[in-house]
Structure formats: C-alpha cells, structure tokens
Structure 1
C-alpha cells in the first residue's frame, strides 16, 4: 500500500491537496488495460482517432473552469493556467486534423539493383508510450507528447509531477467522458518510483525534466532496450549585437527571461551584449525589470507568479549568493520574498558577471537576468557555446541576416532571431536538442507524430527465388 502524498500550494506554502500514488499492482492493471485498448485503437484509421480526439477537445473546453481552478492551485498563476488549457485544446485539434495526412505511405517500390525485388513499409505505432512530465507547465508538458502519440495510434500512460498533480483529476474526468479514449489514455500522478514503474512497463518513454533525472531515465530505458525521448534542461543565451535596437532587444530579453517566473526550459538565462550598447541596454533593462509586478496578493494582477517548487528557490538563492560573493552586482530584485507563505522573486538584473559563477553556467529556472559585455562576435559566440547545454538560444541584431549568420554558429537546437524564446509559442519548426539538453527526434513539427511509428520492411520477390547454386564457389569464377 503506497502512502498518501500531501501537496504544497505555491501561493500559501501550505499543503492543501492529497493524492495516493498507484501501487505496482495498479500500474500493472493500468498498463494491461491500455495495451488491450491500443490494439483496436491502432487498427482504426487516423480519421477515427482524430474524431475521438476532437471530442476530447470539446470536453476539455466544457470543463475549462474546473481544469483552470486546479491549474491555478498547482502553479499559483491564473492567466498562464488558462493559456495552458487553450494551448492543449489547440494542440489536440491540430494533431487530430493533421494525423491522417502525416501517416506515411506504404507503396511498393522496385529495387534499384534488382527490379524484380520490391519493398514496401508497414508503419506500426509503439503499443504503450510512457510520459513523465514536470511541474512547471503541468498540463502542457503532460500532453505535448501524449497527443501526437495518441494520434499515431499508441496508448499513453502519463505520470504527472507530484509537485503539481491537481489538474490530473479534472483532466481524467474529461477522458472518461469520451467514448474510446479511457481505453488508451490514463494519468497516474506519483513520485519517482511511479515514474520508474511507468518506464518498466512502456515500449517507449518521453521524459521532460532535469538533466540529472534524464540520465537516470535514459539508463533505465537502455537496460530495457526501449527508446527514450528526452527534453532536458537549458541555459539559453541571448546575444545582442551593437546594431540591435535597444528597446526591442530589452523587450525580448525581459519577456524571454521572466515569463512564467523564468520557470521554463527555454527561458533566457544569460545575456551577452556588445560593449558599444551595453550600458544603454543595461539601464533600460533595469528600468523595465523594476516595473514588473508579482501577482500577490491578487492572483488576477501582475505579470509573474510564485516559485512553484520550494526546492527551486534554494537553487536560485545559492546561485545569487555565489554570484555576489564573486563580484556580481544586483541592480534590481535579488531576494526571494515570502508573501502569505509563498515564495516570489522579482526580476533580478545582475552585472559584473562571468563564467566562474554558477549563475552563468548552471540552470537557474528563475527570473534572473545576468548581463555580460562582449567585444567581438567571435567572443559572443564562444561565450554562448561555453556550456554543457544546447537547448535553444536567441540573437538580436540590426538585421535578420546579421542575426542568422551568428545563429548558424551556435551549438543549440533552435535559435530565435530578433526575438527570444520563440519555441515557447511556435511549434511548427522541427528541432533537436544539442549536448546535455536532450535526446531523440523532435517533438515539434511533423516529427512530433511520426517518431511514434516504427517502420517494418516488406520485401517481395516477383521473380524466381535464387537457388543455392547461384552462390556456389564456381559461380563466381
């Protein structure tokens, strides 16, 4: 019997929700049910699956208020909670409408060396996909892999984070209201052991989270010889050249760093500015950062919410203390504040930073904006690439061409040109993470669906089979 887990409210700091993770036997039952349901789900055509998904989107829309209330309690923010729901509905409808067109063709093709031998493909979905999602965008990141996997014909078992599990209850209610969906989709909130249990039962695992945990997921998947698609941490740089318009660059930098309290893997976490405009940029950034409001005491006002995960606040504190100790100067913010039991950090602009500081090398996951000057483009590129991460980046320059030239030199999976963190709002461009930021095919673009299909080769001989004598030693003389 597993023990109930109490869940902390990020606005009050107090536990106000409790859930019980599934037992091993319950996970077995779930996995068996999903595998059984997947057989008919995969046998149906993509149009049928698309209609079921469209029905699900309608049920989520109908229960929007219940889901929004749960997400608000999970994350301590209102506007972004509702945007998560809108995004999930749009994602479901988008994949549902695209799935049939994305299913690969399986026409027979004549062989190049011997036209009598033909081949065709059969594309089979992985029967059971396990999804392990993090706490920063609970709904979005539970469904970003699950939806295209379902559209491809897989069954999906989602393990949401124990930090933000409240949304799973109303979301599961919507699943139960759609004929045929509960047989192929289930949520099982739990702790690390639950995640391990999901990996032990899945045919493919999708994980979003830290590099440290991602390595453990990859190791467990490797022992079972199943694929692991990993979306891990980032330390995204923004390069601002001397030709960049300062006001626009500041706007992009602030939003890219502070949105969602910086609790996003694609947040800008270090800013490199050409010496020629460094002082002007830093002054304007500091002025704008001071205007940003926390959403306390009124959740319906302000731009940034609380730090969701209490342990993350300690990481931020440690990095700030290390930076100041090594000579960094805090221009605004800089102190984790407690209001009503919750933890908030106002946008924190730092100067006099360098790569000896953890704030410039380790993932922060908070609204911290360290700004460092550079002299040449080569130096800026070298600084941006001086990291174990390679998730995404940004370049702001006077022209798109100038930004593109620099972007092509960066060792990262995506680069926003004359903006920042565009992967948070634009999902059509396929990308793969570099270095320690991830593993596997793109979850964006068409590959977001096709990666859940395996290709079986059917090879047919339209002529006579070759006899053994054709391979006799004498035959080659």
Structure 2
C-alpha cells in the first residue's frame, strides 16, 4: 500500500507520512488478538482491572508526547489534554463499575425451585473500533475501554486524518506487556477499515451516516453486531421567559467548542418570536468577545478546521442559505491564513428548512436562528430532521422546559443548558434516535454489556420428568 501523507491543520503542509496497515496485516493481527484474548478473559476480571490501571499509569508517563502529537493532529491544545484525561477517567470509571455490572449470581426458576441457573457473560473475542478525526483519542477508547473490561480484545483504527498520536500511544501500550495483542492499533483509510470490519466479531463505528450505512451493510453480511454512533444536527429551543444571556452563552459555547466539530454541537436554534430579536442581539454581543487561537496558551477560543474538506462543506451550506434568503450577521467567511482554514463564529438569521444549514450536519462554528410562534410549531420544526442525537431547551423554569423536552425526538435533551450528557458517562443511559445511531447506549456503566453474549447454565437439582409424560392424551 502507498505511503499516506497527512496535512497539518495549522500550517496546511503535508508534514507527516505513515505506512497504512494492509488487509493482510489486519488479518494477521486479528488472529494474534484472538489468541491473546483467551487468556485475557480467562484470567478474570480482577486481573483485567489491574492491568488496565497499570496502563493508565503508563498513559500518565507518556502524556506529554501523546498530547503533543494530538495537538498537531487537531490544531488545538487544551482539548487534547481533555481527551487524555477523559480516557484515564474511562479506565478508572469502568474498572470501578465492572464488578457490579458483570456480577451474575445463581438463581432459581420462579416456578420451580429445584432448577437453578446462572447467566455467564461471554465477550466477543475481538471488537473492532473505527473512530473519527474530531476527537481522535476519546472516540478511539470511549467504546474500547468497556469492551476491554468485559474481556474482549480490541482493534482500533483511528482516522487517517489524525494519525500522529498513535505512535506515542502505542509506546504507552508496549510498556504493559500483558496488553500485547489485547489493544491493537492499525492505521489507514477505507481499505484498512474494511479489513477491520471483516476480521472483527463486533464493530463500533463513530462517524457519518453515509459511512455508517456501509459499515452496517458489511456487518450484516458478516453477521456481526454493529454499534453505530453517527451524526447529529442538534437543535436548541428558546422559549418565552428564558434567561436569554444564559441561553446565548450555553448555545454559543456548544456551537463553538472544537470549532463546532462535535456530533452533539448545537447546529440549529429555534426562538420564540417574542424574544427572537433580543436573543440574536445577545448572541452577537457574546460572539464578538471570542477570538481565534493561533497558538497554545494565547487565550484564543477556537482553532482552524481540522479536516481540510470541512471548511468547504460549511462554506457551501452558508452560500446555499444566503441564496435562499438567509442573512449572515457575523462571521460567514471561510478563509485560509498561513495554510490554516478558519471560520469565525457565524450567526445566521432568516433561515428555514429549505436550507442545508438547517437540515444537514454542518460541523462548523455556525449558529442559525429561526423564530417560531407557537410551542406546537417549535416541536414540529425540532423533529423535522433525520437526526435524533441530542438537543437542548431553555425555558423560564425546569418544569416548563422539561415539558417541551418530552416532545423532542432525541436521545438526550439538556434543560436550561447544553451538552449535559457529556457528564453522565457512568451514571445514565441514552440511545440515539432516528439515523443518529443504533445498537444500544454507549453511556452508563452497563454499556459494558454491549460487548458480551449471554449464556445460561441451567441445573436440575430435583427429579426429571418420566417418559410417560410423552404419552398422548384424549382430545
């Protein structure tokens, strides 16, 4: 396979190269992973927990190198440190929860106390993980860690757009000999990803609906489960009586975080007509306080686009909106400066659902605002989407906002704030609605159970039925 060249999001230069993992290499690595997995599982949960905690310590020792490489991959520093901290949090959180989640005591049949049974949990031998470029480290391990705790081996293919962090990450894994074959990292594009699906016993994918469909088809043909975490077009609703400053801050923070390159970013806003103008004015006032971050520690709030093609996608959506009558009140210009592709926080009004900016995933720092007259109209607009990842609603109080939240077709709805689901990693569950995903909740400690099959062991401690019970009876 040809050497792959990788663009630096801050300089625009192709300054990194790597050899992609071939399909034959993936197959060989998968065989080694399955061989290693048997001992990983049979060694027991306590041993797995000890080894994963040992790896967490190794991550700490390699933190500087991992975050430095990740910062080059993504063009941002603070969030790169957040990613590493999150992975360490995943390890400790799932290790703490696992003994209770995986406990399966002997029980008796409710109708026959002479029959005892126990459900044994058998992990899928090899779980494949294909992760995207917007959060390369976190989204490589948000699903891999619970699979490892469950007793599976994992094969992870991060995005070819952001591959630099894999080298120092691999060194942290190599420092823990017990993880040889248990965590396998491969790099490459579509061909490598296809090989991962073909050689896995279960597959997890985070990314676009279009690619998710292809993986779902491939998984169905291979007859393996697919857990798909796909795109979002998260709405926020601002009801009359809301704290407009609070709503503007929360919505803007969500839309601008990671330059809007977040699946659960707020990407469309519906505001009661009675407060629309005041809300837009507050949004503009706050947006004017934000500035570009050109280097680590400079106090800037957002960086350039990570993926070169993303700027063009957002620009096309903005052009389509303007052609259909939308007004851009701030930002709106995608520009290249020193090789980096930038878009300042962009506030758009006079939008409607004929525009791509309101119906397609944007993945950029854009806040389109549409007014509504009635709650019924707002609910209709919110749910007029193929997406159903998450959303938010602001109201004069929790009860009023909560009532509206129950009308929203989304897996997680934040009330009087945005992105609250980020904090419920081990505490609660949520699933994606519509085309935003399938395959059960990746949230909650019980997500460990996504990676096991259930085998019942059933014992009869009493008598058995005699053959005479087979005799036919009269009609």
- Shorter-chain TM-score above 0.5: yes
| 1:203-223 residue CA offsets vs partner (Å, 9 max, x unmatched) | 100000000000000100001
Counterpart of 2:369 in 1: which secondary structure? strand
304-313 or 458-467: which moved more? 458-467
| 1:152-179 residue CA offsets vs partner (Å, 9 max, x unmatched) | 1110000000000111111111000013
446-455 or 59-68: which moved more? 446-455
267-276 or 300-309: which moved more? 300-309
Note the 1:299-448 alignment, pairs <5 A. 300-427=298-425, 428-448=427-447
Q: Tell me how far 1:104 sits from its aligned partner.
A: 3.1
- Per the alignment, residue 169 of structure 2 pairs with 171
Asked if 1:262 corresponds to 2:222, the answer is no
- Per the alignment, residue 58 of structure 2 pairs with 59
Choose the corresponding residue for 2:289, options 278, 288, 291: 291
| C-alpha distance in structure 1 between counterparts of 2:462 and 2:45, whole Å | 35
| C-alpha distance in structure 2 between counterparts of 1:459 and 1:52, whole Å | 32
| C-alpha distance in structure 1 between counterparts of 2:387 and 2:331, whole Å | 26
Q: Tell me how far 1:299 sits from its aligned partner.
A: 6.3
- Give the alignment's Cα RMSD to 1 decimal: 1.3
| C-alpha distance in structure 1 between counterparts of 2:311 and 2:152, whole Å | 38
Q: CA contact under 8 A between 1:77 and 1:299: conserved in structure 2?
A: no
| 1:104-146 residue CA offsets vs partner (Å, 9 max, x unmatched) | 313132242x443333211111110000000000000001001
Q: Tell me how far 1:444 sits from its aligned partner.
A: 0.7
133-142 or 177-186: which moved more? 177-186
Note the 1:111-150 alignment, pairs <5 A. 111-112=110-111, 114-150=112-148
- Per the alignment, residue 15 of structure 2 pairs with 16
Q: Tell me how far 1:256 sits from its aligned partner.
A: 1.1
Counterpart of 1:21 in 2: which secondary structure? coil
Asked if 1:35 corresponds to 2:46, the answer is no
| C-alpha distance in structure 2 between counterparts of 1:110 and 1:392, whole Å | 40
- Per the alignment, residue 459 of structure 2 pairs with 460
Structure 1: gaps (5+ residues): none
- Per the alignment, residue 97 of structure 1 pairs with 96
TM-score (normalizing by structure 2): 0.97
Asked if 1:271 corresponds to 2:251, the answer is no
| C-alpha distance in structure 2 between counterparts of 1:453 and 1:446, whole Å | 14
- Per the alignment, residue 157 of structure 2 pairs with 159
Residues 300/189 of structure 1: CA separation in 2 closer, same or farther (3 Å cut): farther
Q: CA contact under 8 A between 2:233 and 2:361: conserved in structure 1?
A: yes
Q: Tell me how far 1:298 sits from its aligned partner.
A: 5.9
| C-alpha distance in structure 2 between counterparts of 1:450 and 1:397, whole Å | 36
Note the 1:226-245 alignment, pairs <5 A. 226-245=224-243
| 1:380-437 residue CA offsets vs partner (Å, 9 max, x unmatched) | 1111000000000001111111111111111110001110122234323210000000
Q: CA contact under 8 A between 1:52 and 1:179: conserved in structure 2?
A: no
| C-alpha distance in structure 2 between counterparts of 1:45 and 1:398, whole Å | 51
| C-alpha distance in structure 2 between counterparts of 1:458 and 1:48, whole Å | 24
| C-alpha distance in structure 2 between counterparts of 1:297 and 1:151, whole Å | 38
Counterpart of 1:165 in 2: which secondary structure? coil
Q: Tell me how far 1:459 sits from its aligned partner.
A: 2.4
Q: CA contact under 8 A between 1:234 and 1:265: conserved in structure 2?
A: yes
332-341 or 421-430: which moved more? 421-430
Q: CA contact under 8 A between 2:21 and 2:188: conserved in structure 1?
A: yes
User: What is the number of residues matched between the two proteins?
Assistant: 474
| C-alpha distance in structure 2 between counterparts of 1:188 and 1:79, whole Å | 26
Q: Tell me how far 1:27 sits from its aligned partner.
A: 1.1
Counterpart of 1:454 in 2: which secondary structure? strand
Q: Tell me how far 1:239 sits from its aligned partner.
A: 0.4
| C-alpha distance in structure 2 between counterparts of 1:415 and 1:210, whole Å | 21
TM-score (normalizing by structure 1): 0.97
| C-alpha distance in structure 2 between counterparts of 1:356 and 1:277, whole Å | 23
| C-alpha distance in structure 1 between counterparts of 2:448 and 2:142, whole Å | 10
| C-alpha distance in structure 1 between counterparts of 2:436 and 2:126, whole Å | 25
Q: Tell me how far 1:224 sits from its aligned partner.
A: 1.0
23-32 or 371-380: which moved more? 23-32
Counterpart of 1:466 in 2: which secondary structure? coil
| C-alpha distance in structure 2 between counterparts of 1:17 and 1:447, whole Å | 39
- Per the alignment, residue 87 of structure 1 pairs with 86
Q: CA contact under 8 A between 1:336 and 1:345: conserved in structure 2?
A: yes
